[in-house]
A and B are shown apart, each in its own frame.
Chain A
Amino acid sequence: MKGYISVFRLRVLSGLQYRTAAGAGILTNFFWGAISIMVLEAFYASSGLAQPISLEETAAYIWLRQSLLMLVVLWLRDGEIAQSIVTGQVSYELTRPYTLYSYWFAKSLAYRLAAGALRFWPILLAARLLPAPYRLQLPPDTMTAVLFFWSMTLSMLITVALAMIMYATIFTTMTPAGSVALFAGISDFLAGGIVPLPLMPAWVQALAYRLPFYTTQDVPFRIYSGHLPYPLALESIMAQVMWLGATLVLGQFLLTRALGRISVQGG
């Protein structure tokens, strides 16, 4: 355990060094969020009908996504891991006294936390100061906030578990950019990262709610605004726990199999 913690620490520290990148990233994410809400505002204004999710709830959804982006998107790839697979360096990792899955998991998690820790609060803070309907609403009560916190933690873990599955596919494709683009292209949409899922047509929702991706964004961001009220929220969190288990098992299985193939070939 101590080893994983020190890997984690090192990663977080090196992530903290890039302040220019962080500053720029914050601006980009903020800008992107503002644009998305402006577009949706224009859409909402075009239709007099009541919508399944209010503009204020959608705004909160988008601000949360933009500020916590680093924790929940799959296109954020750990270049070192991908590179070590393609170059075959990974076979050296096998000579070290740790399980590769746990090591990579700790590393990816740290990378995301380091990138995320610097970025989330300035965006949230700024979003709190905006005028309505852009303003970020607070959760309706403490209970919701607590539920959101746990749901968000689970989201982050599921995201890393999904990323591990993605890394395992690099052993087959040998094209990190391809694997990532393939995974991220599908997952971000199905997670509700491009347009909140409640606004999507029925067939998209039917598909999305059968796959694990929605538990990384749709669930926590809707719990926050109270759009998923108390009993439903708990149900969704249970779904998250289930999907976390499933993705952990699958990722470990795929990685073990991929590594098995390497040592047979002699890397």
Chain B
Amino acid sequence: MIIVEDVSKTYRIAHRPSGWRAALTSLIHRSYAHIQALDHVSFSVNRGEILGYVGPNGAGKSTTIKIMTGILVPDGGCCRVMGYIPWKHRVDYVQHIGVVFGQRSQLWWDVPVIDSYELLSDIYRMSSTASRRTLEQLTQMLDLSSLLHIPVRQLSLGQRMRCELAASLLHNPSVLFLDEPTIGLDAVSKLRVRQFIKTINEETGVTVILTTHDMNDIEALAHRIMLLGRGQLLYDGSIADLKRSYKTIQTITVQFENGPASFETIPHTTIAQSSSGRAQLSVDTTRISVSDVINQLSGSLKLTDVYVESPSIESIMVQLYEEHDI
């Protein structure tokens, strides 16, 4: 479906120092910094997959999206989506993709949503019957019927995002690019948007490329996750694998009756947090089992509560970022 091979991209950015003298010299001579946004990135995406694309700000995520959607031409490497080279066959190609930029609206601000949809179906050269049918389906799926006749500026962010999603699906695209679709949404709206993305993927088999900073989005949706840092691909695999490889560290939280507590004696265990009556320990389960640790603890303390948890995807990410120093 999507093949990205060895893609690189460098930007040139005007360098603006501060201060009076620098401002005056930059009138005559301007220096530039070169930033390698993508450094030989390769991957491929299968039909029907939901790919979670993560990485800190400035890692090159949106550059990749821009290349895959035909907005940018890479300096080197090759990208093919459904056989098209995005930037070469732009007009033919984009007929098959839908794009949502979470931070920017594609709807016309001052008119009712339905007017935007009508204009979009003209832009995508759809017959009126086809567009009406899709719109009906989407209205039902996204529960839009009450929103269609409201001007966009009066919608809440959550309502607007549902309308945005519908707008990018009107022309039945085969690939859907979602750039931070849940940014700024409240918890309920986030759940609805996620549910919808899942449904649309299952029902139409659309391939979804999702970038987000919300790891819950990734956990709820993505079949596969790609981590990008400093323009390089650092991880590419399933969430399950990622979790498994980090499952070796478990966290034990214990509560105990007040008393002199010392945990230093337990091997392969570090204290994450400790206060009177409560402690949190990280256990390296390749060296010592969780039950051994609990046994040792109950030997020296009067435990009132024990709670064992695997690391969250969020904390795994933090760990990954730290490991790669990004």
Interface residues of A (CB under 8 A from B): 13, 16-17, 19
Q: Are B26 and A17 in contact (CB under 8 A)?
A: yes
List residues of B (9-56) whose CB comes within 8 Å of A's CBs. Answer: 16, 18, 20, 23-24, 26-27
The docked-state distance in angstroms from the alpha carbon of A196 to that of B128 is: 60
Chain A residues with CB under 8 Å of B26's CB are 17, 19
Closest to A18 in B: B27
Closest to B14 in A: A17
CB distance from A262 to the nearest CB of B (A): 21
7 inter-chain pairs at a CB distance below 8 angstroms, sorted by A residue, are: A13-B23, A16-B23, A16-B24, A17-B16, A17-B26, A19-B26, A19-B27
Interface residues of B (CB under 8 A from A): 16, 18, 20, 23-24, 26-27
Chain B residues with CB under 8 Å of A19's CB are 26-27
Q: Are B20 and A13 in contact (CB under 8 A)?
A: yes
CB distance from B283 to the nearest CB of A (A): 49
Closest to A23 in B: B27
Closest to B26 in A: A17
Determine chain A's interface SS by DSSP, over half rule.
helix
The docked-state distance in angstroms from the alpha carbon of A197 to that of B18 is: 44
Chain A CB within 10 A, most for which of B23, B24, B26: B23
CB distance from A5 to the nearest CB of B (A): 14
Chain B residues with CB under 8 Å of A16's CB are 23-24, 27
The docked-state distance in angstroms from the alpha carbon of A16 to that of B20 is: 9
The docked-state distance in angstroms from the alpha carbon of A19 to that of B20 is: 15
CB distance from B248 to the nearest CB of A (A): 49
CB distance from B27 to the nearest CB of A (A): 5
The docked-state distance in angstroms from the alpha carbon of A131 to that of B23 is: 35
The docked-state distance in angstroms from the alpha carbon of A13 to that of B20 is: 7
The docked-state distance in angstroms from the alpha carbon of A51 to that of B20 is: 48
The docked-state distance in angstroms from the alpha carbon of A13 to that of B27 is: 11
Chain A residues with CB under 8 Å of B18's CB are 13
The docked-state distance in angstroms from the alpha carbon of A137 to that of B20 is: 33
Chain A residues with CB under 8 Å of B24's CB are 16
CB distance from B312 to the nearest CB of A (A): 36
CB distance from A233 to the nearest CB of B (A): 35
Closest to A118 in B: B27
The docked-state distance in angstroms from the alpha carbon of A126 to that of B189 is: 63
CB distance from A8 to the nearest CB of B (A): 13
CB distance from A83 to the nearest CB of B (A): 16
The docked-state distance in angstroms from the alpha carbon of A17 to that of B27 is: 7
9 A-B pairs besides A13-B23, A17-B16 with CB distance below 8 A are: A13-B18, A13-B20, A16-B23, A16-B24, A16-B27, A17-B23, A17-B26, A19-B26, A19-B27
The docked-state distance in angstroms from the alpha carbon of A17 to that of B23 is: 6
Chain A residues with CB under 8 Å of B16's CB are 17
CB distance from B297 to the nearest CB of A (A): 52
The 6 A-B residue pairs whose C-beta atoms are closest, nearest first, are A16-B23, A19-B27, A13-B23, A17-B23, A17-B16, A16-B27
Chain A CB within 10 A, most for which of B20, B24, B27: B27
The docked-state distance in angstroms from the alpha carbon of A60 to that of B18 is: 38
The docked-state distance in angstroms from the alpha carbon of A16 to that of B16 is: 12
CB distance from A121 to the nearest CB of B (A): 14
Chain B residues with CB under 8 Å of A17's CB are 16, 23, 26
Closest to A9 in B: B20
